[in-house]
């Protein structure tokens, strides 16, 4: 009779253990379903991140198109402004040469006039030469002033547009790379954490299964 009572007690303990293990297994199933939902949400988020990456790539392509357009406009501007720039440089050189020669001639004439006396005819001839140099210098300076407005306003504007396009392209590239790297790093960390949690749950489930089988064998 004592042995039967002892067997019944062990049976009741085994039944209670089976119930507890059943509850633990049910809890593990619920956790697994929750993890599946989390994994599905992570997959949807990954798809959204891929969509954002595609949008960033489109922006990069658009910036490249703008950059090529700016380079084309800059090349056109250089081609169209090349002859003007050359004429502008030649006129500046000519103006400087004429001005220096005129100053040298005037200084030389003043030195000579101070050393020796000049007649009225020589003075009149020198004044005519001075007027000729003044006319030539004035004409060259006038042409230089007329040439500079055609060149001045356009060059800074084209250069600024080209610089803006270059900066925009570099910024889009850097932001796209940073964003893509951050998304990959965050996604990898989430996957690692999820895999670690699933491994812990699997270990617990294996331990409970082993206990359940041991109880059944007993």
Of 22-36, 69-83, 140-154, 182-196, minimum mean pLDDT range: 140-154
Q: What distance in Å separates the CA atoms of residue 171 and residue 183, rounded to the nearest whole number?
A: 18
Give the 3-state secondary structure of 164-176: HHHHHHHHHHHHH
Residue 120's pLDDT band (cuts 50, 70, 90): very low
pLDDT tens for each residue of 5-15: 777 787 788 77
The 8 Å CB, 24+ separation contacts for 5-13 are: 10/218
Fold of 2-217: Helix Hairpins (1.10.287)
Cβ–Cβ under 8 Å, residues 98 and 136 = yes
Residue 141's pLDDT band (cuts 50, 70, 90): low
Q: What distance in Å separates the CA atoms of residue 162 and residue 152, rounded to the nearest whole number?
A: 16
Tokens of 178: 């940073």
- pLDDT at 95 > cutoff 60: no
Distance of CA 108 to the CA centre of its chain: 63
User: Alpha helices of 116-153 — where are they, by DSSP H?
Assistant: 120-151
pLDDT tens for each residue of 149-179: 444 444 455 566 666 666 766 776 677 677 7
């Amino acid at each position: 009779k004592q042995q039967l009572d002892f067997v019944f007690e062990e049976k009741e303990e085994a039944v209670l253990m089976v119930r507890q293990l059943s509850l633990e297994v049910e809890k593990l199933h619920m956790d697994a379903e929750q993890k599946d939902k989390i994994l599905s949400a992570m997959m949807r988020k990954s798809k959204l991140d891929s969509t954002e990456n595609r949008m960033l790539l489109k922006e990069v392509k658009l910036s490249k198109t703008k950059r090529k357009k700016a380079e084309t406009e800059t090349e056109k501007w250089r081609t169209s402004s090349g002859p003007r720039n050359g004429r502008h440089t030649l006129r500046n050189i000519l103006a400087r040469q004429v001005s220096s020669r005129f100053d040298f001639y005037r200084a030389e004439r003043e030195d000579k006039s101070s050393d020796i006396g000049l007649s009225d005819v020589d003075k009149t001839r020198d004044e005519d030469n001075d007027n000729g140099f003044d006319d030539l210098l004035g004409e060259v300076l006038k042409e230089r002033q007329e040439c500079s407005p055609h060149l001045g306003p356009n060059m800074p504007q084209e250069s600024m547009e080209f610089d803006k396009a270059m900066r925009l392209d570099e910024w889009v590239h850097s932001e796209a790379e940073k964003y893509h790297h951050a998304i990959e790093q965050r996604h990898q960390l989430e996957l690692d954490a999820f895999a670690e949690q699933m491994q812990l749950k699997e270990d617990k489930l294996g331990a409970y299964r082993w206990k359940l089988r041991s109880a059944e064998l007993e």
